[in-house]
Amino acid sequence: MLDRLPKDSKILLFEGDYPSVNFPVISRGFEHVTTPVDEKLEEHITHAIKKHEPTVFIFSIVQYISGIKINLEFIKQLKEKFPELLIIGDGTQFLGTEVFNFSQSGFDVVGASGYKWLLGGYGNGFLLVSDYGKQILFPNLATQNVEIDKMWAGKGIDQLYFEPGHLDTLSHGTLQKGLEFLSELGLEHTAAYTQQLVKLAKQELGKRKILTEVAINRVETSTIFNLQIDQGHFNILMENNIKCFPRGNGIRIGFHLYNDETDLEKLLRIIDTKILK
């Protein structure tokens, strides 16, 4: 996708965003600027856009280290205010955690891996692209006269460009089953359930002073928390069957629809008796 952007694109990135988001931009030599991720995330973005006038904004909807989530209503407003700004989001840590309507979101492109919150198997990913996004990525579509083989009949150049030649039907099938499962449960129901659990977790972890001030002060809360405890405690958590990972200055955990308050109580008990004792 980056190789389809105009070479003179000026790209806005988040400081410390996922390496697979930032590094490909930097390594291609695009002119780029960064903005910090903290309590005033949205204010920083607006300021950076007015000051640097980027043509593209690329970022993770939920930050992979801290779990900080951008305000999605802000993205809609941003698109209204700067309609020519190409807004590209990585939804790997987000899609599947709450209801999301791409066509009304303000995003021009959202890409994600399906293995995480969408419950799909490894090796699948997808891109959602708006009409404006297609205009920017494939500006000469209308004038190109490309002969398309019969096996590709009915597909546009944009589909052919992004589809690999060999598709892993098993991998894609697991993503389909994950989507069907979430649809059967009702994503609005699973999201409400998870957010209630996350709200309780935020309260309890905040009481123990093991969340960053940014995480505590942000109204927007994702399903990910970075516990501000020594990474040397990672093995203690894993040995007690708490799946987690060292990230940044702490240890990252997450909650999904298969977790419940019993899991949270277990985590808190281990923290209280084996880590903060």
Q: What is the model's pLDDT at position 145?
A: 63
- Return the DSSP state at 227: E
Q: What does the block give as tokens for 244?
A: 């987690």
In this prediction, residue 140 carries a pLDDT of: 80
Which residue do the tokens 């698109």 mark? 79
The 10 Å Cβ neighbour count of residue 114 is: 24
pLDDT tens digit string along 22-81? 999 999 999 999 999 999 999 999 999 999 999 999 999 999 999 999 999 999 999 999
The rounded distance, in Å, linking the Cα atoms of 29 and 110 is: 22
pLDDT, residue 263, reads 98
Which residue, 46, 51, 6, 59, is CA-closest to 30? 6
Instruction: Please give the Cα distance from 262 to 266 (Å, whole number).
Output: 6
pLDDT tens per residue across all 277 residues of the chain: 999 999 999 999 999 999 999 999 999 999 999 999 999 999 999 999 999 999 999 999 999 999 999 999 999 999 999 999 999 999 999 999 999 999 999 999 999 999 989 999 888 889 999 999 999 999 887 556 666 778 777 777 788 888 767 788 888 899 999 999 999 999 999 999 999 999 999 999 999 999 999 999 999 999 999 999 999 999 999 999 999 999 999 999 999 999 999 999 999 999 999 999 8
| 40-49, Cβ contacts within 8 angstroms, sequence gap of 24 or more | 41/68, 41/70, 41/71, 41/218, 42/70, 42/71, 42/74, 45/12, 45/74, 45/78, 46/78, 48/12, 49/12, 49/78, 49/82, 49/85
Which residues are bridge partners to 128 per DSSP? 110
CA distance 155 to 66: 39
Alpha-carbon distance of 275 to 66, in angstroms, equals 20
Q: What is the pLDDT of residue 162?
A: 85
pTM comes to 0.95
Q: How far apart are CA 174 and CA 151, in angstroms?
A: 24
